[in-house]
Amino acid sequence: MIEDDYEIAQILTEYLSKFDITVTSVEEPYIGLSHLTQDNYDLLILDLTLPGIDGLEVIPKIRKTSSIPIIVSSARDDITDKVIAMERGADDYMPKPYDPRELVTRIKTILRRTQNNTQNITENSLFRLNSEARSIIFKNVMMELTAAEFEILAILVQHADSAISREQLLYESEHIDDNSSIKNIDVIISRIRHKLSNIDPENTYIKPVRGIGYLLTEKI
């Protein structure tokens, strides 16, 4: 993230961390450009009003050497700025202020579109997830899941042994309305648990994490 407002950068960094998104934040655009040449990043959040150089000038400098997805996050809501940013290679433009939940959704959408499709299969000793086929095999048994159940369980399998918030489960699931209550996640989790218990009634693999959400674990 290249953002010269320290308070905004801190708020976004802390919020995105709840969704398993690790942020490196810098205030100076040239330092940000240097970071891009030294490390591999999945996406850039770019402010426009920056010290030393305007963000609109930063975009073509990045595009000379990198195809990294760029989300412009700026208080400048002039349509001209948006048009120029997109013409110069930005992937999205979000005028401030905005709900950080929307930023999470846009990040996930862009990364789904740009990341390599070869990462279709996730496998561990209990689960085999095939994202392209939208199938999950548990203990060698193909599970019968609704679209929403598949998406929730797929997220948990992909983040096995990590606590996932209800908000992340809600906003990463395409078949759950964004206006749905967080409690709907609890209902879907309950249905998934029931289907898992039909295959293995002796153990509980999805555990609640107080104040956060749920965790899928092989450790019983």
What pTM was computed for the model? 0.56
Half-sphere exposure (Cβ direction) of 195: Cα atoms closer than 13 Å:
18
Phi, psi of 151 (to 5 degrees): -65, -40
121-216: CATH, from 1.10.443.10, 3.40.50.2300, 2.40.128.20, 1.10.10.10: 1.10.10.10
Tell me which of 21-25, 54-58, 105-109 is least confident: 105-109
Say if CB 43 and CB 110 are below 8 A apart: yes
C-alpha Rg value of the chain to the nearest Å: 20
Look at residue 117 and tell me whether its pLDDT is greater than 70: no
Alpha-carbon distance of 53 to 79, in angstroms, equals: 20
Note whether 146 and 136 are within 8 A (CB).
Answer: no
What are the extents of the domains in the chain? 6-114, 121-216
Q: Say whether pLDDT at 154 is over 60.
A: yes
What is the Cα–Cα distance from 87 to 110, expressed in whole angstroms? 17
Q: How much is the average pLDDT of 173-199?
A: 85
For 6-114, the fitting CATH number among 3.40.50.2000, 3.40.50.80, 3.20.20.80, 3.40.50.2300 is: 3.40.50.2300
pLDDT in tens, 19-34: 989 999 999 999 999 9
